[in-house]
Structure 1
């Protein structure tokens, strides 16, 4: 069975998948040639379907667990992928709600100075490293002030809001080059058309990922059923 040709892969790729445990071990002919069967074809279909939704690394781990006989672990990994999708959906809802609740007027009007925090406090709140906040500042996404006595960065309420939006949008896959103009819109509250487009694209990508997860789960179930029946 020419697995490589059927799936548009190189012969070496199929061999690598077998060596990695993505495929079950193949029998050999008297001349040492690998013999791939319908079981190998089903395993490869399951892997490729899983990779579309979970990514290559997670799909590899799932198939490795199956071939170790650890089906419960494989299913746990599948569940983890669905849980991450659910969390990303919740994150998207948080971003949409945050944008919907933006105050009218310029974003800087929010910064009264009360409740300002230093970089360490904000990093802990956002569950990122202080270096990440400094990187966002270097690329122009954040613009904290400085404490006049110590020179330390001071994040006013508007800066905290901006940092939250940056974190959420980065998690949603929005590149920094697009976040900058969006923050200008947020700060000026002059319209959210671009933000709406980003959120709509994000939601569409989550939907596509959800469908890919379902397809991967179905392919894995077919493989497990065929294995159990053999």
Structure 2
């Protein structure tokens, strides 16, 4: 069993702040947000903290790199109001998202591994692999406006039907849209994706994306490691809280 740290050493806001490289205002903000338990008060009204508050702060700061500020905040708020199961669910959801991101990366790699040279532009008439903006957007789970934005950024190049003026996405454009969607899921910006897709079109292979995929792998691994660190600090805080 952990010791009960709600008694013993008393810490001023400045003490807690200095130990973690923060401002005293940040400490007050964290308390007001429910990230830290409520502080004690001196007879004159000054806040006092204990090592238990320091443990809560360590847990929060350790959770942020793996789960993000918003989720880390929600986890600590749940823990501090005694809703441990709600906090564990939030942690589980982050792990599920990381697993989904790993699967997305794997899907990108599989798609690119079999990627051949982009086919030449076909005739104006629709081909067997052609589709319009609405069906393609639904297939990807995005809005048609997003596809138009990608087109403006140079990520996809649909042709126009000469009779209706509608956008027509051939197999190459569909491939580019799928690749753009997967890379956006991986956290890449449009300006980062556009040159990659341009290189893939020209090279017709995985090589142009090897560096980006390696970086993506590294970032997912760093998130996974950070989640382990966050879990350890959260467990320590729960044990000390009792």
TM-score range, shorter chain: over 0.9
Which residue does 2:58 correspond to in 1? 45
Partner Cα distance (2:79, 2:141) in 1: 34
TM (norm. structure 1) is 0.94
Taking structure 2 as the reference length, what is the TM-score of the superposition? 0.90
Q: CA deviation at 1:8?
A: 0.7
Conservation of the 8 A alpha-carbon contact between 2:59 and 2:233: yes
Q: 2:49 aligns with which of 21, 36, 53?
A: 36
**SS at the partner of 2:119?**
helix
Aligned residues: 226
Return the alpha-carbon distance in structure 2 between the equivalents of residues 140 and 162 of structure 1: 10
- Cα separation, partners in 2 of 1:153 and 1:190, compared to 1, 3 Å: closer
Deviations 1:45-80 (CA, angstroms, capped at 9, x unpaired): 000000111010000000000111100000000011
Q: Equivalent residues in 2 for 1:188-203 (5 A)?
A: 188-189=202-203, 191-203=205-217
- Measured in 1, the distance between the counterparts of 2:176 and 2:208 equals 16
Q: C-alpha separation between the residues in 1 aligned to 2:94 and 2:121? A: 38
Segments of structure 2 that go 5 or more residues without pairing to the other structure are: 1-10
Q: Which residue of 1 aligns with 2:118?
A: 107
C-alpha separation between the residues in 1 aligned to 2:48 and 2:239?
22
**C-alpha distance in 1 between matches for 2:56 and 2:100:** 29
State the distance in 2 between where 1:111 and 1:224 align.
Answer: 63
Unaligned runs of 5+ in 1: none
CA RMSD of aligned residues (A): 1.4
Shift of 1:111: 6.0
